Chain A
Amino acid sequence: MTQPLVAIRSVSKNFGEFQALNHVSLDVWAGEVLCLIGASGSGKTTLLRCINQLTQVDSGGIWLDGELLGVREEGGRLHRLTERHIARQRLKTGMVFQRFNLFPHRTALENITEGPVQVQRRSREDAREEAMELLARVGLAAKADAYPSQLSGGQQQRVAIARALAMKPMLMLFDEPTSALDPELVGEVLTVMKELARSGMTMMVVTHELGFAREVADTVVYMDHGAIVESGPAAEVLGKPREVRTQSFLSAVI
């Protein structure tokens, strides 16, 4: 493979006066597991949201699978894509939110089949069958007919992962998937994510679970004040960070 799956080039994003992303550039290769770490407010969530186009970048560009996201270049200028087109681009990414965001009026199974049936127009039976396989994969086959309010946080997050996987994305984005969970429920979600990583899925994970990063990540990226301070193989960035800011962040969280 000669081209990264995700190429982020000089992406900036301001919220009013505040610069949330400052000329961020990054490559993510197919099959890579990349963990984003950094202090609160350093722009990790914003970066993921830009890749999923829940937030629009101000300048710079993100290419996913060779396709420029959100805009089209023509005559030396950029033109915003239609909402329809953007929705289609979003299908290549799956997003797992910190607060799960399951649909409360749908059962676990219906949460998973909603996208395949409504968006991808797949048959209800196929979607159900696949959803059951996904539920089994995240260890929740018995909870297919439970509503989110009847599930624990860890179970909800595993359903949310299955819901994202049901769209068969090329890239999975995780925004602190375990930080809203009680400590004893973190493990079951991380187990599912490890299995996913082993299966070869390309993943970008914002996390404070450095143990997970050390074990699963190929690459660790440390962000501060909207910029990438240091990135490299997990063992290097976590084991012997070169930058002073990374060192002080790591010594503070451990």
Chain B
Amino acid sequence: MRAAPTLAGGFPDISEMTVARQVHWQRWLAAAAILVVLAAIGRAFVNGQIEWTYVSRFLTAKVILEGITNTMVMAVLAMALGIVLGVVVAIMRLSSNPVLASVAAGYTWLFRGTPLILQLLLWFNLALVFPTIGIPGLWSARAVDVMTPFLSALLGLGINQGAYTSEVMRAGMLSVDVGQYEAAQAIGMGRLRALRRIILPQAMRVVIPPLGNEFIGMVKATSLASVIQYPEVLHNAENIYYANSRVIELLIVAGSWYLLVVSILTPLQMLLERRFARGTLQITR
């Protein structure tokens, strides 16, 4: 193409002009409307049948603090169990051994297919099925003694979580290029070492956001363990309001604790994500 010797006329020179600021009046209107609604709700709560002094008193009551500690202990342990199971089951599902793959698929089917609260009740009432449990000849115990609320909740929540986590893990492992696995094999790594050293660290980057989601779900799911007498925060709040009838106040106390914990988890997830983003372009200096 030839460069034009002169440019065509009729186009005004706008090169010196600036772009005017837009007035987003709709946004202001929407924000104002939301503030009005929030103020109305706040007013309703302040004037409603809520004794806020009870809320502030019980927010740091010993029983409630113990409850939230138990909630967190259970959430962390059950999630750890869920992740371990999830990794193992995901590896089994991706294995070429059909027995392992179907066992894994069956596990996921069973524990994703039934309500969590039902599973918790089953674990807790295991004594009805097996009065004594143990290893024949070595060790045995009465199931009622073994299946404490703590252990029942841990098994129920952790094993259920494993079924979900395995799918997250499987997606993560599938997201890693097969060339990575071949390169690992080419330097003499066996299957498991390649998974541990090469595939899983890369999969982690992909699975942390969904796992963060799952963990937040887990923190709240621990509240279901109240039905099997595990003394987590909601269970303890309930016990208090059975005695003093301040139902809403104590529910607000428990709710505030859940919100606080979940708010702390989000920045923690960011830190983890940064840790596993090693080598990706975002952190190049």
Contact = CB atoms under 8 A, between A and B. Distances in A.
Contact of B183 (A87, A93, A103): A103
Contacts of A40: none
A88 B187 contact: no
A164 B187 CA distance: 7
Contacts, number: 76
Contacts of B198: 103
Interface in B199-246: 201-202, 205
B279 interface: yes
A13 interface: no
B180 A101 contact: yes
**Range, interface on chain B:** 20 to 34
Contact of B179 (A87, A97, A106): A97
A84 B284 contact: no
Contact of A102 (B183, B278, B280, B284): B183
Contacts of A103: 180, 183-184, 198, 202
Given A105-B279, A147-B284, A83 B191 contact: yes
Interface in A114-166: 114-115, 118-120, 147-150, 163-164, 166
Contacts of A94: 186
Contacts of B186: 52, 54, 90, 93-95, 97, 164
A186 to B, nearest CB: 20
Interface string A77-117: 00000011001101101110101011111110000001100
Interface string B118-140: 00000000000000000000000
A119 B187 CA distance: 8
**Range, interface on chain A:** 20 to 34
A107 B280 CA distance: 11
B189 A87 contact: yes
With a 10 A CB-CB cut-off, give which of A94, A101, A114, A167 has the most chain B CB atoms: A101
A95 to B, nearest CB: 4
Interface string B175-196: 0010110111111111101000
Contacts of A101: 177, 179-180, 182-183
Majority-rule SS of B interface residues = helix
A83 B190 contact: yes
B173 to A, nearest CB: 14
Contact of A87 (B188, B197, B284): B188
Contacts of B280: 104, 149
Contacts of A99: 179
Given A97-B179, A119-B193, A88 B279 contact: no
Given A105-B202, A105-B278, A149-B279, A167 B188 contact: yes
Contacts of A147: 278-279, 284
A83 B96 CA distance: 13
A114 B186 CA distance: 12
A87 B190 contact: yes
A99 B186 CA distance: 14
A52 B184 CA distance: 12
B281 interface: yes
Contacts of A95: 182-183, 186
Interface in A167-199: 167
B197 to A, nearest CB: 6
Nearest to A98: B179
Interface in B241-285: 276, 278-281, 284
Nearest to A49: B182
Contacts of B205: 105
B139 to A, nearest CB: 35
B188 A88 contact: yes
A163 B201 CA distance: 19
Contacts of A115: 187-189
A244 to B, nearest CB: 36
Given A97-B182, A97-B183, A118-B193, A148 B188 contact: no
Nearest to B284: A150
B188 A119 contact: yes
Contact of B190 (A84, A120, A150): A84
Contacts of A120: 188
Nearest to A167: B187
Interface string B38-49: 000000000000
Interface of B: 177, 179-180, 182-191, 193, 197-198, 201-202, 205, 276, 278-281, 284
